[in-house]
Structure formats: structure tokens, C-alpha cells
Amino acid sequence: MINVGVGQADFKVGHSGTNLEIIQTLLDEAAQKQVDVLVLPELANSGYAFASMDEAAALAEEVPTGPVCRALQAWSQPGRMVVSGLCQKSGPVLYNSAVAFSGGELLAVYHKIHLFSNESKWFQPGQQPAPVLPFRQYLVGIMVCFDWVFPEMARSLALRGAQIILHPANLVLPFCQQAMITRSIENRVFTATANRCGQERELYFSGLSQITAPNGSLLVQADEENSGVFCADIDPDAAENKWITALNHVLNDRRPDLYI
Ligand code: ACM
């Protein structure tokens, strides 16, 4: 069993120092709640609704030397894992990234491959598949926010053995929380979506961070407005059972030869 937590907060675009303080508050709460695997929202260091490329670039940080990465690394030291969305500066370009730290090490950096709306003005799209990573004897997959609308993403992670999908998000469309229940059922995996709340410029974020189980049940869900860390104890091995009926296996019964 592991204790999974999703951190929900109202980050502030343009205020890196404030966002670092908010992240540290979530990390402290997660430590106090004995979370083993923590997910934080998309672009947690920067906020989301940039007004210009210059603003986005000024708020980005390098991996793994930036201040938010250092805080995440320190938190992960005692055998924990944290996955956070991050506005990443990499040479001359920016990525909408998710970084994964475990045991004090940087395990992976995922560059979001499906950019939403204005994001393509600021970020380069990722060119590599989303990672599946070990945590203890388990496997976790990562995707970022709008990746939810492409069911191939969760399916690809499940096919590569992910038992939990860790999902930093800044959701503005109203459908994702319901869709992640479907992603759970159709792949028989856990999902953990850490979302923003609050408003930035013209955008409202929907909160309702949640953790779902392979049978589609909602293990925990935040409300629309309040910040905090919301946790559930899960047995990732429950995701090994891919039978949706006694005779139907959600991975082996696929017909990829007919999906044209
Ligand atoms: C989103 O991908 N931030 C909606």
C-alpha cells in the first residue's frame, strides 16, 4: 500500500517567490500526512496565463538546478516520489514539463506533447513518449493536463505497465475529472490529477483534484476552491487485474488491426 496525495493550490502568474512558498506549504502538508507519492499541478512554479513570451521566460527555471526543483528534490529524499508541473527553461526554448524526483534523484523530465490553446505560443511540444517510472515495486506513468483528451496517452502508459497515472493539471474545460474516471475504467489503473484552483487573468481553474481507482470509483476529491493535499491509500497491484468482466480483458481484447 502507498499513500498518494494530490496538491491543489491557487498559484500566482508572475510571482515565482510566492509560488515557491505555496509549493513548500504543500510539501510540508504532504510530509505531515505521510504521503509517499505526491502530485502537484501543471506549471506550479510560474502560473499559467502568461501575457507574453518574455513573461513566460522570466518565470521559467532550469532542471534540476532551479529553486522549485531543489525543493522537490529535498522532499523526495527520504524514499518518496514527487511529480510536479514546471515551466522549464532549456537553452533558448521553454517546455511545459513534468519533473519526477524520487529518493533525492531526478528520475525523469516529461515535455508535454499535447499543447493546449495559447501554450503553443510559449512552449515547444515534447518529442518523446511520456515516461513510466519505478517507485518501490510499482510502476507509475506521467501525463500533463490536456494529454487527458487523447485516450492513447493513458492507454500507452497502461500498456507499458503503469499502475497509477500521475497527472499535473491546470484545467479550464469542465470535462477532465469525469474523463479520468473513464481513463481509469478503460485501462484498469489508478489516476491522480492535481489541479489548480482560482483565477488568473481571464482564466478560471476548476479545482476538484482527485484520485480514481481501476473500477472507476472516486477515492478522494477536493472542492473547487480550497488549497491543500488530498490523499488516498492505494494498493497499486489492484491495477494488475485487467478483467472488466470474467471474460473481457481491457488490454488483450483490443483489436488494433481494425483501428484504422
Ligand atoms: C491544459 O492543458 N492546461 C488545459
pLDDT tens by residue, 176-230: 999 999 999 999 999 999 999 999 999 999 999 999 999 999 999 999 999 999 9
pTM of the model: 0.98
pLDDT tens by residue, 32-76: 999 999 999 999 999 999 999 999 999 999 999 999 999 999 999
Band of pLDDT at residue 11, cut at 50, 70 and 90: very high
Averaged over 89-95, what is the pLDDT? 98
Mutate-to-test residue for ligand 1 from 116, 123, 176, highest number of ligand atoms within 8 A of CB: 116
Query: Is ligand 1 within 6 A of the CB of residue 116?
Result: yes
Kindly state the percentage of the chain with pLDDT values over 70.
100
In the block, cell 483490443 appears at: 254
What is the predicted pLDDT for the residue at 45? Answer: 98
Quote the CA–CA distance of 249 and 162 in Å, as a whole number: 16
pLDDT tens by residue, 146-180: 999 999 999 999 999 999 999 999 999 999 999 99
Which amino acid appears at position 97 of this protein? S
What is the predicted pLDDT for the residue at 210? Answer: 98
Band of pLDDT at residue 128, cut at 50, 70 and 90: very high
Query: Is ligand 1 within 6 A of the CB of residue 13?
Result: no
Averaged over 239-249, what is the pLDDT? 98
Q: Crossing angle of helices 16-32/67-76, nearest 10°?
A: 10
What is the predicted pLDDT for the residue at 81? Answer: 98
Q: Calculate how far, in angstroms, residue 255's C-alpha sits from the geometric centre of ligand 1.
A: 30
Quote the CA–CA distance of 106 and 98 in Å, as a whole number: 11
Averaged over 87-102, what is the pLDDT? 98
Band of pLDDT at residue 7, cut at 50, 70 and 90: very high
What is the predicted pLDDT for the residue at 167? Answer: 99
Give Cα separations from 223 to 37, 166, 183 (angstroms). Answer: 21, 19, 21
Query: Is ligand 1 within 6 A of the CB of residue 108?
Result: no
Query: Is ligand 1 within 6 A of the CB of residue 200?
Result: no
- What letter would DSSP give residue 129? P
